[in-house]
Structure 1
Amino acid sequence: MTVLVSYVPTPVGDAAFDAGLDEAARRGENVVVVNSPHGGATVDADLVDEAHAQRLSERAEQRGVTVEWRRDAHGDDVVDVVQRVADDVDASLVVIGLRRRSPVGKLLLGSVAQRILLHVDRPVLAVKAPA
């Protein structure tokens, strides 16, 4: 089995990555990290470059956890990518980060995290970045 982490290079993404490592180490599983560019874009603020991915992978290896990176491009909905990769790797857990947003912001803009919680058919661990 595998722990799936949905990652973006932000403090929230780092919190999700760390929680995913904790869970994988505790369960004796590996980690698959989904870092999905929009429409296959090569320039995307959410896309992790190779040096950053290597640093995170080395951090995981120090804890005895193997990391695989998946950069499946998504169209309008990254939730589909998370579900597809979770199915591909038979994820035992999906880890996502939550950012602080006002109730009005959630209402107007929606929430990818909320849609993952509602639509992905795996257990989901949602974490916040330290304050």
Structure 2
Amino acid sequence: MAIAVGFTSKPEGVAALETAIEEARLRDLGIIAVVPDEADLQVAQQRLAATGVAHEVRPCEELQPLADALLELAETSAVEFIVIGLRRRTPVGKLLLGSNAQRILLDAPCPVVAVKAAPHPPADGG
């Protein structure tokens, strides 16, 4: 069994990967990181290699959205759960959940853990 995680180098992607690493260590599972951007493949590989957790990094198929790649992985592999990162939103933006996140939450054949990145500390005004 493994944990599937969607990774980008954005704060929400980093938060998702860090959560997946923590959970993998607690549960003695491997990680399959799905990466939509070619530039982030090496970043994901380096972050995971430093952890000692069994892992695999997979690029999304050409023009395949991250949501499709994660859902396909969950349907065809032994995935215990999926970890995704959510962006912080404005009050108006909170009315709508991101379409990728919503699709994964509603259509995944396994549990989904959704995490937010830590808030940035306010700029010091003095």
Task: Output the TM-score relative to the length of structure 2.
Answer: 0.79
How many percent identity over aligned positions?
Answer: 39
* Gap runs ≥5 in structure 2: 120-126
* Deviation for aligned residue 1:13: 0.3
The aligned amino acid for 2:13 is: G
> Distance in 1 between the 2:113 and 2:68 partners?
18
| Aligned residue number for residue 51 of structure 2 | 63
| Aligned residue number for residue 111 of structure 2 | 123
Q: Secondary structure of 1:33's partner?
A: strand
Match of 2:73 among 81, 85, 100: 85
When residues 59 and 71 of structure 1 are mapped into structure 2, their CA distance, relative to the original with a 3 A threshold, is closer
The aligned amino acid for 1:18 is: E
Judge conservation of contact 1:8–1:48 (CA < 8 Å) in 2: no
* Greater C-alpha radius of gyration: 2
| Aligned residue number for residue 28 of structure 2 | 28
The aligned amino acid for 2:80 is: S
**1:94 pairs with 2:99:** no
Partner deviation per Cα, 1:105-131 (whole Å, 9 max, x = no partner): 365785211111111111100000001
When residues 109 and 74 of structure 1 are mapped into structure 2, their CA distance, relative to the original with a 3 A threshold, is farther
Q: May I ask how many residue pairs the two structures share in their alignment?
A: 119
Query: Structure 1 residues 63-72 or 9-18, which shifts more?
Result: 63-72
* Deviation for aligned residue 1:85: 1.1
Task: Output the TM-score relative to the length of structure 1.
Answer: 0.76
Judge conservation of contact 2:6–2:66 (CA < 8 Å) in 1: no
The aligned amino acid for 2:54 is: T
The aligned amino acid for 1:116 is: I
